[in-house]
């Protein structure tokens, strides 16, 4: 992992070699803070991106202030399907002055809800920087499932692929928690800075959240469990985390 500055946006981001579709996390630079906008209902991606442009223009921020987004998809992608989707997705980021030569500063979570599934990939929420003298660190960690980030196929590194027993889910959760913790470390942060943690899985993990998240100290703010699956076939558990200055309903 490498921490880089994205000066046009007023934030820093975590770059992982071989990953073009998103960064692993973002944190507002000094003089800036992150705000989050959530849609009342997820909107189709093209429509959502247009709404992002309007919102940023209305508050006097450039498109390069766009720092993170949360997507909702109808069903997990195959490996190739995910690559194909991501190639289309980054075209908008490239037009906005964010994506260039395989480097993408924007953090992202993309999950598949069990209920109220969107018909097409949709935008659920997004975060961006604003000028601020707030003393509190604001940041968004991208979602990650129980597999390694980087070149190669996800399925080759999925922790206990094909298993969903409580023991297997514990191993998956621990892997994901460790990855999120490493991202916090790279940003110069720790779990005590996190105000909101999200868990995404279709499996019963209530006892595991108590034992492996809250008891560990990774749930100091709050943990929200979404009945949703990660975006790639055979992954079973995903998690992300954030602290933002304020949240807006659009």
Per-residue pLDDT tens for 155-186? 788 999 999 999 999 999 999 999 999 999 99
Q: Within 13 Å, how many C-alpha atoms sit on residue 85's CB side?
A: 21
Helix (H) or strand (E) holding 93: helix 79-95
In this structure, the strands spanning 139-145 and 25-28 are antiparallel
- Mean pLDDT across 3-7: 98
Distance CA 9, CA 6 (A): 6
In the chain, DSSP finds a helix count (H) and a strand count (E) of 4, 13
The position carrying tokens 């621990």 is 174
Domains of the chain: 2-249 (3.30.1330.40)
pTM of the model: 0.96
> How sure is the predictor about 154, in pLDDT bands with cuts at 50, 70 and 90?
confident
Name the β-bridge partners of 129.
34
SS3 at position 164? coil
Which among 185, 59, 176 has a CA at the least distance from the CA of 126?
59
> How sure is the predictor about 244, in pLDDT bands with cuts at 50, 70 and 90?
very high
Residues 6+ apart with CB under 8 A from 101: none
SS3 at position 186? helix
In this structure, the strands spanning 196-200 and 223-226 are parallel
């Amino acid at each position: 992992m490498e921490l880089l500055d994205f000066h046009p946006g007023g934030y820093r981001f975590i770059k992982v070699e071989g990953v073009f579709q998103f960064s692993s996390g973002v944190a507002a630079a000094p003089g800036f803070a992150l705000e989050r906008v959530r849609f009342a209902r997820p909107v189709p991606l093209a429509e959502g991106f247009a709404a992002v442009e309007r919102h940023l223009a209305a508050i006097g921020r450039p498109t390069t202030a766009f720092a993170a987004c949360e997507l909702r998809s109808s069903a997990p992608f195959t490996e190739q399907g995910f690559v194909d989707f991501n190639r289309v997705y980054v075209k908008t980021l490239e037009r906005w002055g964010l994506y260039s030569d395989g480097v993408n500063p924007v953090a992202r979570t993309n999950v598949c809800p069990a209920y109220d599934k969107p018909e097409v990939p949709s935008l659920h929420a997004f975060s961006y920087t604003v000028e601020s003298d707030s003393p509190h660190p604001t940041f968004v960690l991208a979602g990650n499932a129980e597999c390694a980030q980087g070149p190669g196929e996800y399925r080759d590194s999925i922790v206990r692929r094909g298993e969903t027993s409580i023991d297997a889910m514990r191993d998956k959760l621990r892997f994901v928690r460790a990855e999120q913790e490493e991202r916090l470390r790279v940003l110069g942060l720790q779990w005590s800075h996190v105000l909101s943690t999200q868990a995404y899985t279709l499996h019963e993990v209530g006892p595991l959240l108590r034992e492996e998240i809250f008891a560990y100290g990774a749930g100091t703010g709050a943990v929200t469990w979404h009945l949703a699956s990660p975006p790639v076939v055979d992954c079973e558990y995903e998690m992300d985390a954030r602290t933002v200055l304020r949240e807006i309903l659009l």
